[in-house]
Chains A and B, each alone.
Chain A
Amino acid sequence: GEDVEQSLFLSVREGDSSVINCTYTDSSSTYLYWYKQEPGAGLQLLTYIFSNMDMKQDQRLTVLLNKKDKHLSLRIADTQTGDSAIYFCAESGGSYIPTFGRGTSLIVHP
């Protein structure tokens, strides 16, 4: 079946950029997503990119998609302590039911 892989942890200093990477296997992926989960809360859709796009920018967030390598990344500029959370990569193909990665815990330290 489809698989979505991402590293489990990322630690950055406040003010630096964070880059969270994700790889997926489903070549029929239509939409790719980034979700954020803050402590004690549900997942919140941060941003998404359609598979025919290479890049999407939304304020401090930049999503890059390399469809050939099936690689998705989320860059957070000027990372703040409030960005500390778990970030989930997800993709949906023909079934429109997302497959999630295991999540990357982003730790932002002063």
Chain B
Amino acid sequence: EAQVTQNPRYLITVTGKKLTVTCSQNMNHEYMSWYRQDPGLGLRQIYYSMNVEVTDKGDVPEGYKVSRKEKRNFPLILESPSPNQTSLYFCASSGTTNNYGYTFGSGTRLTVV
């Protein structure tokens, strides 16, 4: 089944403890993105990648890192999480043919205390 898989689904962590949220897609998509969703603010793009080793900042990149060493994986790294990074995170991927519409993962709800 074509899908984007994020892990974990839920995570509670403490301020300053490094964490990684994994994202993997099995559709051989070139484009991958990370978004955070907050009430009243909709979806805001954190980082995106147009292919292996090509990443760029989105609208809210501060406090986050990404890497794209392989086409299928696009992990999101929080080196020193803070409470304002408590949010719902989505990974998404898209190919370069057809309509470029994104396929989204199921989301990761992160709470930083």
Interaction A to B: yes
Instruction: Report A75-92 residues with CB < 8 Å from chain B CB.
Output: 88, 92
Q: Does B94 contact A (CB under 8 A)?
A: yes
Instruction: Report B63-108 residues with CB < 8 Å from chain A CB.
Output: 90, 92, 94, 96, 99-107
- B104 with A42: CB separation less than 8 A: yes
Q: How far is the CB of B102 from chain A (nearest CB, A)?
A: 6
- A48 with B101: CB separation less than 8 A: yes
Chain A residue, CB-CB nearest to B100? A96
- A42 with B107: CB separation less than 8 A: yes
**Given contacts A97-B33, A100-B43, A101-B42, A43 and B102 within 8 Å (CB-CB):** yes
- B42 with A45: CB separation less than 8 A: no
Chain A residue, CB-CB nearest to B106? A42
- A43 with B48: CB separation less than 8 A: no
Q: What's the interface size class on B, roughly?
A: 20 to 34
- B41 with A98: CB separation less than 8 A: no
Chain A residue, CB-CB nearest to B30? A96
User: What is the 8 Å Cβ interface bit string for chain B, positions 43-58, against chain A (1 contact, 0 not)?
Assistant: 1010010100000000
Bound-state Cα–Cα, A35 to B92, Å: 13
Chain B residue, CB-CB nearest to A41? B106
- A41 with B96: CB separation less than 8 A: no
- The 8 Å CB contact of B90, one of A33, A43, A50, is A43
Instruction: Report B13-30 residues with CB < 8 Å from chain A CB.
Output: none
Chain B residue, CB-CB nearest to A44? B104
Q: How far is the CB of A36 from chain B (nearest CB, A)?
A: 11
A residues adjacent to B (C-beta < 8 A): 8, 30-31, 33, 35, 41-45, 48, 50, 88, 92, 96-98, 100-103
B residues adjacent to A (C-beta < 8 A): 4, 31, 33, 35, 40-43, 45, 48, 50, 90, 92, 94, 96, 99-107
